[in-house]
Amino acid sequence: MPAASSPVSPAARQQAHARYAAIRAHTLALAAPLSAEDQALQSMPDASPAKWHQAHTTWFFEALLLRPLAPGYRLFNEQFLYLFNSYYEALGPRHPRPQRGLLSRPGLDEVRAYRAHVDAAALDCIAHCDADSWARGSAILELGLQHEQQHQELLLTDILHAFSCNPLWPAYGQLPELPPAPALQWLSHPGGVVEIGHPGTGFSFDNEGPRHQALLQPFEIANRLVTCGEFADFIADGGYRRPELWLSDGWALARTQDWQAPAYWLADGRVFGLGGARAMDPAAPVLQLSFYEAAAYADWAGARLPSEFEWEAAATALPGLAQLYDCAWQWTRSAYHPYPGFRPLAGPAAEYNGKFMVGQLVLRGASLATPPGHARATYRNFFPPAARWQFSGLRLAREPQQGAPR
């Protein structure tokens, strides 16, 4: 017989209650500036409606926490198990992703009622579940909260894409101004054997471990991200017309889709963002780049993209790195592979990360749209190289420069 779990402290229950309530409320706050019509839009297969994000994050708690672990939990609507499953094969069939924008029903009010129903059950579980349920459920509760934070960023990137399809250039809202970029400096890392991956204290996703050693050659890395002004110089120098700067797949895609500038740069010189269309700020980090554009820029600049290991080693050991987590996810030259000894989580959560480890590139850092407290140095974001609708930019790296001024 397994040993009985130790009692749950009232402080642990209060902390979990506060964290759950705050993160769930933040999602509603992010959706608040949007009309019901805005929240139903799906502008492309990769982007989901804001309403769907709110329902799907709720489904996650219902399907992975409450259904298996809360005795007597009553489903809000059995059909929602089909509508709001994203990609979990183990949890049954699901509505096709490209057709999420066709779901005018359930309406926004019903989705909010769904959220309230699940919140009541989850908070009741946090307050009253027995020690064994707590022991089995607390990790999945935290995964659900981290999952909701990921969708908070997607809610913003996806509505921005939808608004970018509207010639009125709607503004989502006013955002805090980013601090000005510091002057460019190259920081030196000596290379050698470094420890990579999450050290194990506090939450991490399964793809951040196991922690292991990697061997780095000496390298240099830029203290800040590439700016819009620098990227404009690349464009003016024929960057989008010079195949020698591009990877073959990227060049073909850029021709097919007639790329001439980053995704949200407008023909009149303005740049579209969450604050609407504004004059391009040469000192602001360049955003909404595909991996292909980032790699072409780096080649033009006589540099390269860092590997994800170089990025993590620099972020954890080098003083003076700016714009790590508050501007843009930073493309790396690393394919999204499992770390040595990687094992997915047990149960349905096994499908969270591992099955996507092919055909994608790793991005490091975090962006202006990442919710507070969600980022860390070992975090591995990932997207296909053609993705342009995220808050993605680049930080340059290069080999040590012999005799060059630092």
Q: How far is the CB of 150 from Fe ion (least distance, A)?
A: 7
Let me know: does 288 contact 262? Beta carbons within 8 Å: yes
Q: Are 331 and 291 in contact (CB under 8 A)?
A: yes
Q: Least Å distance between CB 185 and Fe ion?
A: 38
Q: How many residues sit in the footprint of Fe ion (CB under 5 A)?
A: 1
Non-local (6+) Cβ contacts of 262 within 8 A are: 231, 271, 286, 287, 288, 289, 293, 388
User: Edge-to-edge strands of the sheet including 381-383?
Assistant: 381-383, 361-364, 329-335, 392-393
CA–CA gap between residue 224 and residue 321 (Å, rounded): 6
Angle, helices 228-236/291-300, rounded to nearest 10 degrees = 70
Which residue is at the shortest CB distance from Fe ion? 86
Cβ 103 to Fe ion shortest distance, Å:
16
DSSP designation for 258: T
Decide whether 155 or 361 has the Cβ nearer to Fe ion.
155
Cα angle, residue 330 at apex, residues 325 and 336 outer, rounded to 5°? 115
Q: Which stretch binds Fe ion (CB under 5 A): 78-86, 115-123, 255-263, 328-336?
A: 78-86
Instruction: Identify which of residues 149 and 367 has a Cβ nearer to Fe ion in the complex.
Output: 149
Which residue, 86 or 307, is less far from Fe ion as judged by CB? Answer: 86
User: Of 252-311, which residues contact Fe ion (CB under 5 A)?
Assistant: none
Residues 159-218 within binding reach of Fe ion (CB under 5 A): none
CB of 111 to Fe ion, least distance (A): 15
Q: Which is nearer to Fe ion, 86 or 290 (CB)?
A: 86
How many whole angstroms separate alpha carbon 136 and alpha carbon 66?
12
Q: Which is nearer to Fe ion, 153 or 230 (CB)?
A: 153
Give the 3-state secondary structure percentages of the chain, helix then strand then coil, rounded to 5: 40, 10, 45
Q: Mark the segment that binds Fe ion (CB under 5 A) among 83-91, 234-242, 314-322, 366-374.
A: 83-91
The neighbouring-strand residues paired with 227 are 285
Supply the minimum distance, in Å, between the C-beta of residue 97 and Fe ion: 11
Q: Which stretch binds Fe ion (CB under 5 A): 85-93, 117-125, 341-349, 355-363?
A: 85-93
C-beta of 29: minimal distance to Fe ion in Å?
Answer: 19
Measured from the CB of residue 62, what is the shortest distance to Fe ion in angstroms?
13
Counting DSSP H helices and E strands in the chain, the numbers are 11, 11
The count of residues in the chain is 406
Which residue's CB is nearer to Fe ion, number 24 or number 395? 24
43, 58, 86, 381: which one contacts Fe ion (CB under 5 A)?
A: 86
Nearer to Fe ion among residue 28 and residue 127 (C-beta): 28
Per CB under 5 A, residues contacting Fe ion are 86
